[in-house]
Structure 1
Amino acid sequence: MKLKSVLLAALFASVATVAVAQTPLPPADPLDDRSAKRVERMEKVVRELRAIVFQGRDTGKPVVVQPAETDAQIGALNERVGDLEQTLTKLNGQNETANFELTKANRAAADQKARADALEQRLAAVEKTLADLQTAAAAQVAAPAVGTTPPPPAPPADPAVAFKQAKDLLLAGDYANAEQAFSAFVANYPESTRSAEAKYWWGETLFVREAYSDAAGAYIGAIRGWPQTTWGPDATLKLARSLVALKKTTDACRTLDELSKRYPKAPAQVTSRAASTRVAAKCS
């Protein structure tokens, strides 16, 4: 009963306060927004007190007042939102760091590939040089004594026979004699339909022994007119590699540009070597 009396007294006091607050004011002194909000809050309190009193009267049970949303709860929610924002900022930073590391890894992989291609090219040159030295040593052993070298045989009357003899020497690994045979074919049969191909194989024998200047000249003669033959793309590539060896990188890059333009369907091995040659020449 004491609680009920207290609540009734509070209710009546609040009602009186609201009544006073709701008394119309003179037109010259209207309520501002702040006063209007205070009136609304007091009305809400009156409604809540009235509900509490009626609940206690009707049920006869103790009244449990459930607190509304408090500033503390709102503050806790704000803290959680702040924590989530900090976590998101941290994750964004980690993502940027991961992207940076991935970019570095890609660049490192590209550098490794360029070095591997350069090493492959050097290894190929060393292998060819070794093969040339072995061939030269074998020819030295088989050569007759000084002063007894017989004169070179007369070229065959049939260009096809001369070409086959030169090609057989090349396939046998006798690069020195193959070089002479293809050189003689070019000189003796300039009008032959296989003259350009003979220049290509002549360039190959020169390239093997790293005579890059002479090899470049032979390759240029072979690809004049950009022949659509099986050896055309390889001759263009070898010309570019010879120019790189001669430190004529600008000309080498132009030759590689023509290679992709003139022979778009070049074999995969040629395009792969062309890519590594571009790296060696530092083409843009």
Structure 2
Amino acid sequence: MRARIPLTLMALAVLATAAPAASQTPLPEPAVDPLDSRDAKRVERMEKVVRELRAIVFQLQKSDKPVVVQPADTDARMAEMSEKLGDLEQTLRSLNSTIDNATRDLDAAKRENAALKAQLDGLSERLAAVEQKLTASTVAAAEAAPATAPTAPPAGDPNKAFADARQLMLAGDYDAAENAFADFVEAYPDAAKTPEASYWLGKTLSVRGAHADAAQAYIGAIRGWPQTSWAPDAVVELSRSLIALKKPSDACQTLAEFARRYPKASPPVAARAAAARTQAKCAA
């Protein structure tokens, strides 16, 4: 079935088909001046519209499907572009905010790192001073000890001598244990058990309140900072003797060295170190 064509379009088509025939008839010479350029452009636009309408009419005649002429939706496209630009601006603002926050966090981290580095440098200097002071104390104590002529090692068994002294201490005979450990340190200065004997000698001296002698014994025990089971306790006992001798500053330096040298000390020893740090009023 043929599609119905609106009367308006048919009329325009008739005009369009008649236009070529009319254009073949020569027009008389105008009695007036030719059209100016503006009128000529206007006429040209009208002819273009007529040609487009004629093409539409011809298309309707050849097809049963209606022809849909879609006007350019400029306003809708502009609105869509404006919405996309708004989304882009929002994204850029969010990105700028994120960058600003990251910059502030980075600046804060740099300041914290600088402060931490300054603290670590100060702590390193303090530890070096403690180690130097402990070394100086050991040397001074050695120089203050009465000079004795070297003697030949005794003929006894050092392992048995150490075991006997240790048995006396376990039995609670601290006076006899003190003498036995003192004799051992003097008789076997280079024996493997000598540092531990000095540690136990310090223990017996601490029991009877001889804190100065006990501190000297503990210093001899921890010379070289040995990694043994009794060494952390020897350092704590040294700090307690220094506290008893009214030397809290030296005690705090010793406890700081304890934390650095023996970070894995047993919980009971670490608890006694914390108590000594509180007693000496060491800075946090």
Q: What TM-score comes out, normalization by structure 1 length? A: 0.45
Q: Which has the larger radius of gyration?
A: 2
